Amino acid sequence: MEKKIKEILGRRSKDRIQDPHRKRAAVLIPLFKKDGQYHILFTRRTEKVAHHRGQISFPGGQQDEKDKDLLATALREAREEMGIDQKDVHILGELDDICTATTDYCISPFVALIPYPYSFRINPQEIEEVIEVPLSALLDETKFRQEVGRKNGHTFPVYFYQHKEHTIWGATARILKQLLELIPEVEKKARTKSDKSL
C-alpha cells in the first residue's frame, strides 16, 4: 500500500498556504505495519507543553531557523519527541498545508513509513503517551463525526475521530481526514491491478 500512497501523493498538487502572519510548522505522519495491517502512530501531548496540552497529535512542531526546510522540521521534531532516527524514515509524500484555528500555525504534513517494532526514545517533557491506531479503525465511519466551529463570525467544519478512549480532533483530525480520503483510491487501484492479473 505504501507504494500506491507514494504514487498518489507524488502526482497530486499540494495546496501550499503562504501566510506571513502565521508561524510555520511541520508534522510527520508515521505509518507502520503491525500484525499484517497498517497502523498510524499518534502521540498524546503532556500538560507541560506550550500549546495543545493533552491533545492527540502527530510528532512535529514549529520550524526552527536552523531547519533547511519543513521536511527537516518534521524529521527533527520526530527525533526530539520520539527518538525516530531520520535513516529509519521513508517519506511517501506531502499532504496539503493546514492552518490551526486557534494558535496561528500553518502546518505542513509529511506521510512516512517507519519500521516496526521500533525502540522509541520518548521525551517525557513533551509526550505523555504513544498511541498506535489501526488504519481500519480510522476508516470505520461510525467512529467519525463532524461539528461546526465558529470564530470571528465565520463557521468551519470540526472533525472528530474516536478510537477507544482517545478522541482525535482539531488540526490533527483535519490532516488525518486528508490521508484517509486517499485510501479508497489506493484500494481501488489495488483491486484494478488484481483484476487485470486474473
28-46 burial, b at 16+ Cβ within 10 Å, e below that, comes to: bbbbbeeeeebbbbbbebe
Q: How far apart are CA 174 and CA 179, in angstroms?
A: 9
What per-residue confidence (pLDDT) applies to 50? 67
C-alpha cell, 125: 517533557
Which residues of the chain are under the pLDDT cut of 50?
A: 194-198
pTM: 0.91
What per-residue confidence (pLDDT) applies to 55? 92
Q: Which among 130, 93, 120 has a CA at the least distance from the CA of 109? A: 93
What per-residue confidence (pLDDT) applies to 197? 46
Fold of the CATH domain 2-135:
Nucleoside Triphosphate Pyrophosphohydrolase (3.90.79)
Domain ranges of the chain: 2-135
Q: How far apart are CA 81 and CA 77, in angstroms?
A: 6
